[in-house]
Structure 1
């Protein structure tokens, strides 16, 4: 099942999307931190602060995305069958026969 190389994962199930998003957010954080920590155009760029902000933002974004991915799960099929309070999802305002 998981060892089959012919099995293709969708974009949502692969690691490319979280890595790409984390990379973009880390680049933005690194650039903003580098420019704002410089303190003006007369001073040299603070690449050390930018690299630290890049690393922290990358790890934090990746951690948050992975936790949210693990916490999310698909709804069971019987939820849409009207087994709840309203008994039918077609007419949610209709009162049941109590």
Structure 2
């Protein structure tokens, strides 16, 4: 694994390791908190069922949110920083640009 040029050129940002790691950490935290909160005190037995459900839901939800945010974000094209722009002059913002018909 990782021997092809396509896999070698992926950065940490494009890799699946970062979203999986973040989702795993968040799921562990949610699972521990749900297990402790669901137990209801030291006299009661551990409620691992509640913790496992919270772990699973948090893992999937975090992974889904990160995936959607990753797909929505994209780099700007290089040509956006060049050119004359539309209505670039702030002296007369209400006047029409000369190149419009």
| TM-score bucket (shorter structure) | 0.7 to 0.9
Match of 1:69 in 2: 70
Structure 1: state its 5+ residue gaps: 88-93
1:42-81 equivalences in 2 (<5 Å): 42-81=43-82
The CA deviation string for residues 12-40 of structure 1, in whole angstroms up to 9 with x for no partner, is 00100000000000001001100000001
1:83 is aligned to: 85
TM-score (norm 2): 0.77
- 2:4 alignment counterpart: 5
Report the counterpart of residue 91 of structure 2 in structure 1.
95
Cα pair 1:86 1:95 within 8 Å, conserved: no
Aligned-residue Cα RMSD (Å) equals 2.0
TM-score (norm 1): 0.79
Unaligned runs of 5+ in 2: 96-101
Superimposed CA distance per residue, residues 41-90 of structure 1 (whole angstroms, 9 cap, x where no aligned partner): 11111110000000000000001111111111111212212524436xxx
Using a 3 Å threshold, how does the CA distance of structure 1 residues 77 and 54 change in structure 2: closer, same or farther? same
Bigger CA radius of gyration: 2
